[in-house]
Amino acid sequence: MRRDSPESKQERFEWALEHQDKLNFDKYCIFIDEIGFNISMRREYGWSKVGEKAVLKVPVTRSLNVSFLGAISSKGCVDLKVRLTAGTSPNKKRKVDSNTTISEKKTRVGTTADHFYSFVKFVLREIETNQALKEIKYLIVDNAAIHKHRDLQLLVASSGMELVFLPPYSPALNAIEEFWSVCKAKVKRSHLSRKEQLTPKVKEATAKITLESYQGFCRHANDYMQHCLESTSF
């Protein structure tokens, strides 16, 4: 498994050695990432009578994903924005008049470098204006290609912050992963039937996460720094 390969452990060790003295996930860091939600998501377990299977009805048609960008710290959710992953591009012909046809189809377009750049601008603005975030020094992101755009790095540097890339195959070091997991667990219990219901439910789930939970997300991620230094699996 690549996550536990000697190469991955060595990369995590070198990363932790470089950052252990400056990164304090509880105090100085904001974690930023994107994720997709879908109304077809359902709980993976349920209760039933003894000897009977648990059965759950789900929508027959699969809806488009709804992509969210989020930023969290030990102080709570810094920002959360949504964008629908659908666009229009040429494909299926549709008649316009007797002499002309055009083509169109819905395509799925994930979060791009431009989307991520715009979101980080909002986050930096929030850091600048929110007194509770005055100690923030580092924006923590994973190694996704859209996070490494040169313009983004210049933007963060110009704000006086530092963009820190986590080592590959290391989701446990990213506190926002646990945040997304809790959000999804709450949304899965909602039994949604329409895409329009999804965004309000995600925001409602976020609002129910306590400050203690955010502190726990950051503390748990910080604990894995020692695993990196000891080159142990996680």
Give the tens place of pLDDT for each residue, 39-94. Answer: 775 545 444 556 666 555 555 545 568 899 999 999 999 999 997 554 434 444 44
The values of phi and psi at residue 127, to 5°, are -60, -40
Judged against a pLDDT cut of 60, whether residue 140 lies above it is answered with: yes
- Domain membership of residue 213 (yes or no) is yes
The reply to whether 53 falls in a domain is: no
Mean pLDDT of 94-114: 53
Please state the rounded mean pLDDT for residues 95-113. 52
**Which residue blocks in the chain are alpha helix, DSSP H?**
6-19, 113-129, 150-158, 175-188, 198-207, 211-230
Query: How far, in Å, CA of 149 to CA of 135, rounded?
Result: 25
Question: What pLDDT score does 53 carry?
Answer: 63
- Range(s) of the domain holding residue 202: 2-45+59-230
pLDDT band at 102 (very low <50, low <70, confident <90, very high): very low
Q: Is residue 118 part of a domain?
A: yes
| pLDDT at res. 99 | 42
Distance separating alpha carbons of residues 194 and 61, to the nearest angstrom = 11
Q: Would you say residue 187 lies in a domain?
A: yes
Q: Is residue 120 part of a domain?
A: yes
Question: Mean per-residue pLDDT for 12-39?
Answer: 94
Secondary structure class of 203 (helix, strand, coil): helix
Secondary structure (3-state) at 77: strand
Question: pTM to 2 decimals?
Answer: 0.82
Amino acid at 29: C
Number of other CB atoms surrounding residue 194 within 10 Å: 9
Task: Supply the CATH number for residue 63's domain.
Answer: 3.30.420.10
Q: In angstroms, what is the C-alpha Rg of the chain?
A: 21
The first and second tokens of residue 60, run together, are 């027959």
- Whether 52 is in a domain gets the answer no
User: Per-residue pLDDT tens for 176-194?
Assistant: 999 999 999 999 887 777 7
Contacts 24+ apart (CB under 8 A), 117-123: 117/149, 117/151, 117/152, 117/155, 119/32, 119/69, 119/71, 119/79, 119/81, 120/32, 120/152, 120/155, 120/156, 121/155, 122/79, 122/81, 123/30, 123/32, 123/71, 123/78, 123/79
Quick check: is 104 in a domain? yes
For the chain, the first-to-last Cα distance in angstroms comes to 11
For residue 185, what are its two tokens? 């667990």
Query: How far are the Cα atoms of 75, 126, 204 from residue 16, in angstroms, in the given order?
Result: 24, 28, 35
- Tally of domains within the chain: 1
Q: Establish if 51 belongs to a structural domain.
A: no
What would the pLDDT profile of 106-123 be if each residue is shown by its tens digit? 444 578 999 999 999 999
**Buried b / exposed e along 173-193 (16+ C-beta atoms within 10 A):** bbbbbbbbebbbebbbebebe
